[in-house]
Amino acid sequence: MAKKRIGILTSGGDCPGLNATIRGVVKACYERMGEDNVEIVGISNGYYGLIHGLCRTMQPSEFSGILTQGGTILGTKRQPFKMMTVIGEDNVDKVKNMKETYKKERLDCLLTLGGNGTHKTSALLADEGLNVIGLPKTIDNDLFGTDVTFGFHTAVDIATDVLDRLHTTAASHSRIIVCEIMGNKAGWLTLYAGIAGGADIILLPEIPYDIDSVCSAVVKRAQKGKAFSILAVAEGVFDTKTAKLKKKEREAYRAENGNDTARIAAQIEKNTGIEARVCVPGHMLRGGTPSAYDRLLATQFGVHAAKLIAEEKFGRTVAYVDGKVTANKLADIAGKKKLVDPKGQEVQTARDLGISFGD
């Protein structure tokens, strides 16, 4: 039996659970096909490594002790999809190079762990004839076709802890604290953490806010004797005026003026007279050991990927749908985002608690 050579890369932003997924798929491949019949080729720094041939055959011992380890043992790097088919000043044909690296390394399949951009490139490579299997990773939880991505729940736990801690300092100083949470286009992380962390106001990219409505919600709390408020704000929020701009105009406005978080805090303080502060936990939400939930989910995803490899079902990405681990065709999900439904159950739950969305 010829050894099956499996390439693995992690692309895009890091998150807890990448190593747990790598471990899950490798251990399941060893168990299913025999350790002597499998060779794992680690590709450093995502698609950049595939483009530039940064590959090495890894030893079984390298996958021990990484279940609880954050980040990725393979390293990661952002390689924008929109530039994949563009030959730049370096004169590198990225798609051609990736196909040549795949062939040179004698890969039988390629596993790509990543989010939306990663999956678009995975679909591209599958169309080019490579055997590709995707695994859904992102703290934004915005990948179409799966109910949840690994890394999301750990980030929710961390963001919730941040909001918990902000409550005590906000109450002590009778302040408004505006906490900016990662999520440029999708507000899942802010929504879940905001509800779990007892935020008073939640602002999401999917629900453009009106600053007067935000200030009104703060004033109403103050009138009830609640001298502080906690705002959970997704980094990609914009107000109702900006929402009327075309996409490129909004992007240009954001590039020139930055995120709305600091402006929201300044406007609240100016309009209400209540002292406001900004907290940006930033990349702390990506770091550290994965939660038990994400370790389990990542392991399940890895095991299912091993099953797809053994059955030679390529051009797919693993998914979690209605309580079961399954897989979607890459062509069916690439380029699609799963956004918060403004009328969805989670938003309605928050509204029923009296949480304002600033609309």
Compute the distance between CA of residue 27 and CA of residue 299 in angstroms, rounded to an integer.
10
- End-to-end CA distance of the chain, in Å? 63
Beta bridge partners of 277: 177
Q: Is 140 a catalytic residue?
A: yes
SS3 content of the chain, % helix, strand, coil (to 5): 45, 20, 35
H or E stretch at 170:
helix 152-173
Contact 105, 55 (CB under 8 A): yes
Q: Which of 112, 99, 79 is nearest to 8 (CA)?
A: 112
Overall size of the chain counted in residues? 359
Catalytic residue, chosen from 14, 108, 140, 200, is 140
DSSP assignment of 130-144 equals: --EEEEEB-TT--BT
Q: Which of 116, 153, 107 is nearest to 134 (CA)?
A: 116
Contact 148, 320 (CB under 8 A): yes
Tell me the residue type at 161: D
Catalytic residues, by residue number, are 140
